[in-house]
Amino acid sequence: MGIATKPEHSTPILDRIKSPEALRQMSDADLVRLADELRRDTIAKVAATGGHLGSTLGVVELTVAIHAVFDTPRDKLIWDVGHQAYAHKILTGRREAMATLRQDGGLSGFTKRAESEYDPFGAAHSSTSISAGLGFATARSFGFGDGDAIAVIGDGAMSAGMAYEAMNNAGTMGKRLFVILNDNEMSISPSVGAFSKHLSALCTQAPAIGMDVMMRKAASMLPEPFKTGAARARQAVGALAGTSSLFEHMGFSYIGPVDGHDLPQLLAILRTVRNVADGPVLIHAITRKGAGYAPAENSADKYHGVGSFDAETGALSKSKPSAPAYTKVFAKALCDEADRDPGVVAITAAMASGTGLDVFSQAHPERMFDVGIAEQHAVTFAAGLAAAGMKPFCAIYSTFLQRAYDQIVHDVAIQGLPVRFAIDRAGLVGADGPTHAGAFDVAYLSNLPGFTVMAAADEAELVHMVATATAHDSGPIAFRYPRGEGTGVALPERGTPIPIGKGRVIREGRDIAFLSFGTRLGECEKAADILAARGLSATVADARFAKPLDIELIERLASSHDALITVEEGAGGGFGARVLEHLAAAGRLDGSFAIRTLTLPDHFEAHASPSVMYERSGLAAPHLADAAIASLEGNQIEIGHPKSRLFAIT
C-alpha cells in the first residue's frame, strides 16, 4: 500500500456505509478500497478537530477486517484505551458527528458505552480490554448474550500487569475469546522492556510460527485421540524450533505474527479462527503507527495526539504560547536539581514525553527510568530506590496514579519512604474528558499519614516545589500542577525550598477571605476585584499545602473575616474538607462566621475546553464572587457591614 501525502476526499464506497453490516456483503477487493477511503477520511476528520491520529491510522485494516468478519454489535468489539477507535466510529454510524470530536457536547475521543451500541465497553486507560472481554465471554456461558468477544490491545498496553492477570485467568478458564495484539512497537513513547524484546523475537521467527499455525489447524480436524497426539507433536516441534510464545504458555492459541496492513490476509485469518476456535486465541498483528500518512509516519510520536493540522502537508496549527507549559517548567527544574544532586532519579510509566521526562533523559540518561505502562511497579520501584537512599521523582498523571494507590499506601506511606510524586494533569484537562481529569489525588493522598501534599499556584511556585521535594527526606511528598501553559510569571533562577506547611497571603482585605489551593489563585484574585466593585474587601491567600495545613494562616483568616471561601481544582473530600475538619475540631465553627468549600461538582465533567469545564463547574471568578456574597447573605451578615459577627454558620 502506498504512503499518501495528499489525502483525496472522494469516498464513494465509504459514503454508502451506514453500519458495519454493509461490510459483510462486500467483496474482499471492495473492502481493500474501503480501507483506503477510510484512512483518507480519518485524516481529513482529525485534521479539522485534532485528536489521536497515529494510533487509528495503524488499525484501519484491522478495523475493516473485524467488522467485516464478526457480527458487531452482537459480537462485542472492545478497544483497549480507545484512542485508536476513530475509524471504528466512522464505520459505526458516527461519521458525520466526527466534526464534533472531543468538543463540548460532541463525540468522545475514546470508546463510550453511552455513545453507541458498538461501544460495549468504555475505555481511556490502558490494559483493560482482555479483562472486559473475558467478562463478556463468561457472561455468555450463563446465557447473557450469545456473541463473541474481541479485544484489540496494543503492545504498549501489554506491558501492564493487568493484561497478564487477565490472560492468566483466560487461559485457565478456556473460554472462547479473541485477543488481537496490535504490535506497532510503541504506545505514546516507544515500547520498553523484556516483553517488547519477546515480541521482536517472535517477529524474527515468522516462518516457524506459520508452520505451527498450520499444524494447529490440521490437528483441530482430527478425532480423538489423534488430536491430542498432534497437539503434543506441535508443541515438540515448536520447542525444537525455539518458537514457543509466552501466550501459548498462558493457554492461548497463538497466530502470528501477521501483517496488520494486509487486509486479505487478515480477513482469511479472522474467518478461520471464527469458524474453528474453541478457546482463547491471540492474533499477533504487526502494524505501523500512523500508517498511510507520511507526516505521521515520519514524526517521532507518529502524530499520537495532535491539534488541528493541514491534511495535505501535515503542518500543525499551533498558536504561539504566551508562557511555558507547566510540564516543561517541571522538567527543567528537575534537571537543575539533578545537576546538583546525584541522588535525584526520575521514573515514569510510558509517558516520557507527556511528563517532560524526555528532557530529563537527555540530560541524565542513566538516571531516567521508563517502566512501561506499569504504574504499580513504578511506585514500588521508586520506594525501593528511596529505601536505598536515593531521591526518586515519580512523574505520573493524576488520573494514572490512581492505578497505584495500594502501592502508595502499603509500600510508600506505611514505610514513610521519601518518594517524590510529581502529579501532572491536575484538575480538568479539556478534550480528554473525565477519564483523564486529575480530580481525586488531593483527597486520596492527603488522608495518608505522613504525606506532604502541595499544589503549585503558578509556574514559579512549581520550580520552588521541585526544590522543596528534593530537600524533603522525612517522608513521601507530592506536588500537583495542571496541563497547559503557565501564567507568565517570572521564573526564578533556582528553586528555593518552601517551609513545609506554610502558605502565603497575596492580597490583604477585611470582609471575605479566599483560600486557594492550586491554580485557581488567579481566579480568586479576579473574584476579589469583582467584590471590590461591590464595596467588599477580600483577602486572597495561597494555601500551597493541603497537608500539613497552615493552621496559623487558616485560623487568622477565620478570625478576621466574615466569610472564608476555600477553592480547589479537585473533588470533594480534599483540601476544603481538611480545612473544615480542623476548624470544627478547634471550635471555630461554633457560630462565628460563614465558610464555603468550592470543589469540582459531584459528577464526571464531560469533555470541553478547560475554561468551559471550569465555568460549568462553578470555579470561575464570577462564581467565586457569587459564592462569597451568598455566604454572607445566608449567614445574615449585612453586606457592607461585615464585622457584625452575630449569626451562626448556615
The reply, when asked if residue 157 is annotated as ligand binding, is yes
* Mean of pLDDT values over 281-287: 94
* Cell numbers linked to 406: 495500594
To the question of whether residue 83 is assigned a binding role by annotation, the answer is: yes
The answer to whether the CB of 467 falls within 8 A of the CB of 638 is: no
Give percent of the chain above pLDDT 90: 74
Spot the catalytic one: 40, 89, 95, 403. Answer: 403
Residues 6+ apart with CB under 8 A from 107: 89, 94, 97, 98, 100, 101, 115
The 10s digit of each residue's pLDDT in 12-32 is 999 999 999 999 999 999 999
User: Contact at 8 Å (CB) between 299 and 290?
Assistant: yes
What mean pLDDT comes out for the span 615-629? 94
585 is in an annotated binding site: no
pLDDT of residue 478: 98
The question of whether 605 is a catalytic residue gets the answer no
Per-residue pLDDT for 225 more than 60? no
Q: 470: left (phi > 0), else alpha (psi -120 to 50), else beta?
A: alpha
Find out if CATH 3.40.50.970 is the number for domain 14-205+243-297: yes
State the Cα angle at 621 between 429 and 464, rounded to 5°.
60
What does the alpha-carbon distance between residue 50 and residue 307 come to, in Å, rounded to a whole number?
4
- Report DSSP letters for 504-567, one per residue: EEEE--SSEEEEEESTTHHHHHHHHHHHHTTT--EEEEE--EEES--HHHHHHHHHH-SEEEEE
Which residues share a beta bridge with 76? 149
C-alpha span between 187 and 304 (Å, rounded): 8
Is residue 69 packed enough to be buried (19+ CB in 10 Å), middle (13-18) or exposed (0-12)? buried
In the annotation, is 403 catalytic? yes
320 catalytic residue (yes or no): no
Give the model confidence (pLDDT) of 391-429 as tens digits. Answer: 999 999 999 999 999 999 999 999 999 999 999 999 999
Alpha carbon distance 322, 94 (integer Å): 36
pLDDT range class, residue 451, cuts 50, 70, 90: very high
- Please check if 605 is assigned to a binding site: no
Alpha-carbon distance 79 to 109, whole Å?
12
The answer to the question of whether 377 is labelled as a binding residue is: no
Active site residue: 37, 248, 337, 375, which one? 375
* Stretch 339-346: mean pLDDT: 98
Mean pLDDT (the chain, rounded): 88
Per-domain boundaries in the chain: 14-205+243-297, 206-242, 326-480, 504-634
Looking only at the bridges linking them, the beta strands covering 452-455 and 545-547 are antiparallel
> 124 labelled as ligand-binding?
yes
Domain range 504-634, CATH class: alpha beta
pLDDT at 460: 98
Architecture of domain 326-480: 3-Layer(aba) Sandwich (3.40)
Q: 114-138: per-residue pLDDT in tens?
A: 999 999 999 888 999 999 999 999 9
Q: With pLDDT > 70 as the criterion, what percentage of the chain qualifies?
A: 87
Out of 45, 102, 140, 289, pick the active-site residue: 289
Q: 449 near 413, Cβ under 8 Å?
A: yes
| 504-634 and 326-480 share a CATH fold | yes
Tell me what pLDDT residue 635 has: 61
156 is in an annotated binding site: yes
